Amino acid sequence: MIRQYELVERVKAYDPSADEDLLNRAYVYSMKAHGSQTRASGDPYFLHPLEVAGILTQMKLDAGTIATALLHDTVEDTVATLEDIERVFGKEIARLVDGVTKLSRLELNSEQAKQAENFRKLVLAMSEDIRVLLVKLADRLHNMRTLFHLKKPEKRRRIARETIEIYSPLAERIGMHKIKDELDDLAFAELNPDARDSILAQLARLRSEGENRVQTIITELRELLAAEGLPDVSVTGREKSAYSIWRKLQRKNVSFEQLSDIMAFRITVGTVGECYQALGIVHAHYPVVPGRFKDYISTPKPNGYRSLHTGVIGPGRNRIEVQIRTQDMHEIAELGVAAHWAYKQDHQPRPTGGEYRWLRELLDILEHAQKPEEFLEHTKLELFQDQVFCFTPKGDLIALPRGATPVDFAYAVHSQVGDHCVGAKINGRMLPLRTQLQNGDQVDIVTSKAQTPVPGWERFVVTGKARARIRKFLRTQQRAQYMELGRGMLMRQFKSEGYEFTEKALENAAKIFQQPTVDDLMAGVGSGLHSVREVFHAVFPGHKAQAAPALRETEESAPKPKAKNRKESALPIRGLIPGMAVHYARCCHPLPGDRIVGIVTTGKGVTIHTIDCETLESFHESPERWIDVSWETGPDSPEEHVGRISVVIANEQGSLGTLFTVIGKNQGNVIHQKITNRSTDYFELLIDIDVKDAKHLTNIMAALRATPAIHSVERARGR
């Protein structure tokens, strides 16, 4: 156990002006507050906050952070209150302690929800002061070091998984690679001990066979640099951690024997110029592995990390990774943001959470997520991915996860830019919005005030911020459409039963269905959550329908329901966004001019089918789900629809070009085509075409049939 005077001496060693009285009071207060409490190991509980404080002294953090570490569990696990902490230690320490508190008193529906809600609070707290995260990471590190004392395997695994999915990526994001590596290794030992033991055994075998290859390579690199004019350099080497090797094995899908770059060497020099000089020397003497060079000095990582990385076929034909940096860069690489808190004579301004773009983006996700679990999902997306670095037209650097698209880039620039994005120029060329960005791309986003987020974007965006914004917009739009649809369905039901529809009549039904408002009830009806009949009978429980049996008998006896040609009974469907409250079935691709019917589908609203669609056979036993709909089109209706045709075309030179030319000349726009069969004589294709209505598609088909190269054209059904 660290003695009181030892802790104070540790802090005073790197910060002579540290508040000694604050440290002494925090030490005594925490020890008395935890009293006789013990941990799962049987050790006094006070040992835990003391060890957390000890970890933070190794990072040379200020006295306020050390005091927070000593006090971080007092509010949660003892009778002490936040008011007590504020009275004794002041507002700043109380705020930090409150930010670190685990909030275990929250009563949420699931362990995942509880974890997510705790993480939300952590993000809010660390956005105000990044020291909250530093204490939390030290707290998690000590808990992981003592994890084996917990008796329940499922609890150990849950904590380890939370560590590797959330806290390890957070440590990496603020540049604390030393803590990240230890958290990863401790979690890996719990989650996959067999794999870890296997990798450690393989490393031990390589060491025994290689006769200390690491030291041999270090010696050769040091002698080479000295001979070329860099005598005062430090060269160190290490094997990569078991977990990082495991990640590589998974990512590259290779065996351990095939993985050659398991050794990393660090060259530490005096100046930035010497970094590039050392790089030139290494590249001049050893073959470079293509694609492995990264310059994080000219383009630092968002967490401030700076270094040169390269891969070479080094001494003894060993494939190695070499990192070249200055001593200052090394301190930031090991301690990240904590290096900025280390005591300095000039008392430079210290960082706050607001300096980190990724932290602001987490706050943005927090604002737009609907529930804690969704926030946690988006956050994992945001934290746990490799990065690409792209530039705005003005040269500003934007860091994004690997696989990001121009839509992700647009949302990273600003939420409004993302919402109104209609296109993107990548390195001066207009490219599709689903294009994956590469390192160094310059991206210019084209916007339009008329544009809104599109449902299809969610399928290819990878950042949590973009996904959260798109989902929020779709939820807002979807609810409005569900509500209008539900209102129309209820009005029709009331009218058919001889009652006048009023929203006031639905107030009691909303309570019965446990909906907060009448609007929520109507949205539930529109989404298929509640049936129209259930709601109607909740409003009029004594009502006996007279026409219902005859209607059911008629519907069941008919081979297929007929769409009535009555505008007054039809629900409008024009202008609705596909994929939301009302969308068009892909099994039959209905077009204006086709006779159509609507089917209420739980969670999707209404799906529009053509009246002769074979899929309707499966809904004959549920006549209450059928809705009489019709097209409401006119000259002011510019919306285009997708028509699908099946084409058999001669396998001749130029026939495909003729096919698409004919479609284009008839004002059709091909959006997708697929070859379904191919022979020496003919091709069979499915082609999706943007058309105005069924008549437009018929005209295109007629033009195609008149083309000699085309054998047959039919309107296609099915996916």
What amino acid positions are annotated as catalytic residues? 76-77
Task: Please compute, for residue 678, the number of CA atoms within 13 A of its CA located in the half-sphere on the CB side.
Answer: 4
User: How far is the C-alpha of 361 from the C-alpha of 411, rounded, in Å?
Assistant: 10
Structure tokens that stand for 647 in this block? 């084409």
d(CA 82, CA 74): 9
Q: What is the dihedral of CA 125, 130, 135, 140, to 10 degrees?
A: 80
φ/ψ (deg, to 5) at 433? -65, -20
Detail the DSSP E strand segments found in 537-634. 582-584, 596-601, 605-610, 626-627
DSSP line for 378-412? HHHHHHSS-EEEEE-TT--EEEEETT--HHHHHHH
Strands 605-610 and 582-584, bridge-based pairing: parallel
- For 96-129, b where at least 16 C-beta lie within 10 A, e where not — what string? bbbbbbbeeeeeeeeeeebbbbbbbbbbebbbeb
Cα–chain-centroid distance for residue 318? 37
Residue 315: Cβ-neighbour burial (10 angstroms; 0-12, 13-18, 19+): middle
The one-letter code for the residue type at 251 is: R
Q: How far is CA 279 from CA 231, 232, 271, 292, 322, in A?
A: 15, 15, 13, 13, 9
Long-range pairs for 657-666 at CB < 8 Å and ≥24 separation? 658/707, 658/709, 658/710, 659/685, 659/704, 659/707, 659/709, 659/710, 662/700, 662/703, 662/704, 662/707, 663/687, 663/689, 663/700, 663/704, 665/703, 666/696, 666/699, 666/700, 666/703
Give CA angle at 665 (661, 666), nearest 5°.
Answer: 120
C-alpha–C-alpha distance, residues 136 and 166, integer Å: 12
Kindly report the CA angle at 456 between 373 and 460, in degrees rounded to 5? Answer: 70
Query: CA-CA distances (angstroms) from residue 626 to 231, 557, 617?
Result: 84, 15, 12
Q: To the nearest 10°, the Cα dihedral for 392, 397, 398, 403? A: 90
Separation between Cα atoms, residue 143 and residue 647, nearest integer Å: 65
CA pair distance 63, 9, nearest whole angstrom:
12
Contact 247, 256 (CB under 8 A): no
What CA–CA distance (Å, rounded) separates 529 from 513? 10
627 pairs with which residues across the strands?
598
* Cα 184 to Cα 201: distance, rounded to the nearest angstrom: 18
Q: What does DSSP assign to residue 43?
A: S
Please provide the DSSP assignment of 261-322 as one string: --EEEEEEESSHHHHHHHHHHHHHHSPBPTT--EETTTS--TT----EEEEEE-GGG-EEEE
Q: Strand, helix or coil at 415?
A: helix
